[in-house]
Amino acid sequence: MNPRSLRPTTRRLVAATALAALAFGAVTLPAQAAPSVQSPQFAAAAVVAAPAKADIRSNDYPENAWGAPASYPGVLVLSLPANSGAAGFAYSWGEIPAPSTDNSLSHLPPNFVKATNGEARITQPTNLGSGPKRLTVKLFDRNLGYVGATAYYEYFVPADVPGAGPSRREAENVAVTVTAGRTASGKTYGKGSISFKEADKASSTGARRYLLATGGNATHGPEFAFPFTAEVTGAYALGASLAKAKNFGKLRFFVVDAKGKRTALVDVNTAQAITFDGYAAKAQRAYQPLGGLTLAKGKYRLVVKVVGRNSASVSRTVKKVADRGYAGAVDFLTIVPLYKT
Ligand SMILES: [Ca+2]
C-alpha cells in the first residue's frame, strides 16, 4: 500500500481528536494513553520524545548571528536525522511548497533536494536581499510525502559594504601571536601539525587553530592574538566559531588596536565580559557571538584569553604537555561589516 494514502486519514483522525478535546474543554488528552491491547510497536513509539527533523548548519551563516553579505551565495548544509526513513529535504526562505504528485526522486521540483550520504548542500539565492532570514526545512520520503517535524534556522544577512574585507576568516590561516600568562604557558598548533580529531570534526574545513594552555585566570591567562584589518571605518559584528571538548577551558575576548588600546568584548545586556565555557563531554562546534564594535579603518588583533576551566574539564596530554583542562580551539572568526560610518 502506498504510505501516502494513509496520511490524510491519519491527519483527519488527529484533527478530530484535537477538536474533540477542544469542544469538551478536556485537560487530559483522550485516547492517547491506553489502547486496549498494548503492542510492542506502541510501547516503542511511546518513548520517542519528538519526531525527527533536519539538522541545519552553516559556516557562512552562524545561527542567530550576522553572516555573509547579501551578494554572497552562502551555503547551508542539511543533514538527515538518524533512522528517519527520509530521502531528502524540502526547503524555503518563505512558504514550503506542497509535495509533488510525481513519485520519482529523479524529477524533484525546485526547492526539493535529495540527500546524498545523508546530507545536502543548498546555496542561498543572492536575490533575497539583506535582513533577518529564516530557512524552513521539511523531510520527505521516497514517495515525496512529508515525514517528521519541521526544522527552522534563523540568521542575519547584512547589506554589502563596498570595500570591506571578508566576513569569515579561518583561524588556522592567521598568524597567531601568543603571550603566556604568568601562571601558564601557551603554545599554538596550526593546521595539520597536531592530531586532534574531535576539534577537526567540529570545524568548518576540518582545520582549526588549537590553543594549548596549561592554566589561566582573568588576570594572568595566556593570550592568543588573531590579527585582522578593518578595511573600512564602520560598524562590525564580531563572533567566533569555537570547538568544545572535554579538556577545554574558559575563554574571554578583546579587541586591541594598533596603538595597544584594549576593548573587552561584553554582553550588551549585562555589560559583563563574554565568557565562553569550552567544556563539553562530547566534542562539538559552538558559535559565540561577540557583540558589535565601531572600528576605524586599520589594523587590529582579536585576542582570545584563557581565564579558567570548568570543574568538569579534564587534562589531556598533547605533544608531552598536559593541558590540565585549559586548552581550546578556534575554527574561524567572523568580523562582519554592517555599515560604513
Ligand atoms: Ca577553520
Average pLDDT (293-301) is 97
Which residues have C-beta within 8 Å of that of residue 153, sequence separation ≥ 6? 56, 58, 61, 63, 76, 134, 135, 137
Centroid of ligand 1 to alpha carbon of 130 (angstroms): 25
- Encode pLDDT of 238-295 as tens digits: 999 998 999 999 999 999 999 999 999 999 889 999 999 999 998 888 999 999 999 9
Centroid of ligand 1 to alpha carbon of 199 (angstroms): 10
- Which amino acid is it at 98? A
pLDDT, position 173: 85
pLDDT band at 10 (very low <50, low <70, confident <90, very high): very low
* pLDDT of 27 strictly over 50: no
Scanning 67-215, the segments in alpha helix (DSSP H) are 197-201
Centroid of ligand 1 to alpha carbon of 207 (angstroms): 5
Centroid of ligand 1 to alpha carbon of 173 (angstroms): 8
Centroid of ligand 1 to alpha carbon of 197 (angstroms): 13
> Could you tell me which residues are beta bridge partners of residue 298?
230
pLDDT, position 280: 94
* pLDDT of 21 strictly over 60: no
Quick check: do 49-157 and 168-340 share a fold? no
* 216 touches 308 (CB < 8 A): yes
- Encode pLDDT of 305-324 as tens digits: 999 999 999 998 877 788 99
pLDDT band at 172 (very low <50, low <70, confident <90, very high): confident
Residue pointed to by grid coordinates 543533514? 79
- Encode pLDDT of 55-112 as tens digits: 999 999 999 999 999 999 999 999 999 888 899 999 999 988 787 676 678 778 889 9
* 158 touches 337 (CB < 8 A): yes
Centroid of ligand 1 to alpha carbon of 331 (angstroms): 4
Q: Which of 56, 59, 57, 73 minimizes the C-alpha distance to 332?
A: 59
Q: Which of 49, 24, 22, 292 minimizes the C-alpha distance to 158?
A: 292
DSSP, collapsed to helix, strand or coil, labels residue 45 as helix
Which residues have C-beta within 8 Å of that of residue 134, sequence separation ≥ 6? 93, 152, 153, 154
Q: Which of 247, 259, 272, 252 minimizes the C-alpha distance to 324?
A: 247
Centroid of ligand 1 to alpha carbon of 93 (angstroms): 27
Q: Which CATH class is domain 49-157?
A: mainly beta
Cα separation, 112 vs 86, whole angstroms: 12
Domain segments of the chain: what residues?
49-157, 168-340
In percent, the amount of the chain with pLDDT more than 70 equals 77
Q: What is the CATH number of domain 168-340?
A: 2.60.120.260
The count of other CB atoms within 10 Å of the CB of residue 107 is 10
Centroid of ligand 1 to alpha carbon of 104 (angstroms): 38
Centroid of ligand 1 to alpha carbon of 231 (angstroms): 22
Centroid of ligand 1 to alpha carbon of 292 (angstroms): 22
* pLDDT of 44 strictly over 70: no
